[in-house]
């Protein structure tokens, strides 16, 4: 099972937290993992059939042109900001084990990663990062593709002026070709946002780009990017929790 980004729905929390991690370390390479739910074709089709054709809440399912699969990114788990993003690496093994276990306890799974390069205008996947992505892809279930959110540093403005992430799968990440800027992304690379519908058991694309940018802006205004922590922080101080960081808690914690 593979998917295009058109069949990927991200929660505002996942998108915002991934960017907060990058805002905290604007001049360092940043990486984290994406967790959520992956629906098979039958589940997506069932959810699609329950929706009203006149509804503005578009449930994503079997209608996706490139793929009838759907995945819902519910959360982003911050991992690294100084350690090399390569494989094999002992800390990558630790991160994978932690995130995989934590996601399974909530009925979810590892879907992919988000990455940001160190240099402002660098929009390419480095060979060492590509090796890391391929190592994680090798651990994915058969016929699934690792989701890759590539963060464009030049779009990390305050307040945000547009989407800052291009959505790809690992097979479309090349070291010899720059990743498209979010404003120039193809249909298959665009971000879609929404919530999980507990009635249809499927994600619904109910949130606009403006709504998501407002989420990021509000988080920045509350200095949440200074409070978010990653695995490296946990290694320095084991009392720090990095796996579970609700966005609202980051925005309101003193």
Provide the residue-wise pLDDT of the chain in tens; the chain has 254 residues: 445 544 889 999 999 999 999 999 999 999 999 999 988 644 433 444 444 333 334 444 433 333 446 889 999 999 999 987 778 889 999 999 999 999 999 899 999 999 999 998 898 999 999 999 999 999 998 889 999 999 999 999 999 999 999 999 999 998 888 999 898 988 888 888 998 887 877 888 789 999 999 999 999 999 999 999 999 999 999 999 999 999 999 999 87
| The model's pTM | 0.86
CA–CA separation, 21 and 23 (whole Å): 6
User: What are the domain boundaries of the chain?
Assistant: 5-252
Cα(166)–Cα(19) distance, rounded to whole angstroms?
Answer: 12
**Residue 236 dihedral angles phi and psi, to the nearest 5°:** -75, -35
Class of domain 5-252: alpha beta
User: In angstroms, what CA-CA distances link 224 with 19, 25, 183?
Assistant: 11, 13, 25
Give the phi and the psi of residue 78 in degrees, each rounded to 5: -70, 135
């Amino acid at each position: 099972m593979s998917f295009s980004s058109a069949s990927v729905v991200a929660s505002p929390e996942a998108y915002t937290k991934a960017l907060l991690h990058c805002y905290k370390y604007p001049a360092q390479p940043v990486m984290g993992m994406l967790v959520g739910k992956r629906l098979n074709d039958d589940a997506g089709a069932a959810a699609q059939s329950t929706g009203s054709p006149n509804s503005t809440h578009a449930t994503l399912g079997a209608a996706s042109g490139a793929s009838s699969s759907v995945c819902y990114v519910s959360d982003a788990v911050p991992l690294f900001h100084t350690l090399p993003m390569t494989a094999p690496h002992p800390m990558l093994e630790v991160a994978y084990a932690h995130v995989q276990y934590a996601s399974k306890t909530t009925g979810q799974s590892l879907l992919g990663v988000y990455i940001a390069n160190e240099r402002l205008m660098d929009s390419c996947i480095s060979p060492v990062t590509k090796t890391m992505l391929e190592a994680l892809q090798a651990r994915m279930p058969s016929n699934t593709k690792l989701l890759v959110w590539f963060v464009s540093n030049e779009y990390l403005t305050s307040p945000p002026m547009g989407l800052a992430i291009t959505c790809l799968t690992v097979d479309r990440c090349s070291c010899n070709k720059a990743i498209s800027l979010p404003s120039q992304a193809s249909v298959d690379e665009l971000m879609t946002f929404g919530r999980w519908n507990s009635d249809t058991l499927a994600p619904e694309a109910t949130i606009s780009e403006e709504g998501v940018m407002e989420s990021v802006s509000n988080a920045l205004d509350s200095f949440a990017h200074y409070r978010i922590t990653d695995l490296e922080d946990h290694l320095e101080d084991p009392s720090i929790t990095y796996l579970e960081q609700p966005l609202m808690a980051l925005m309101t914690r003193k």
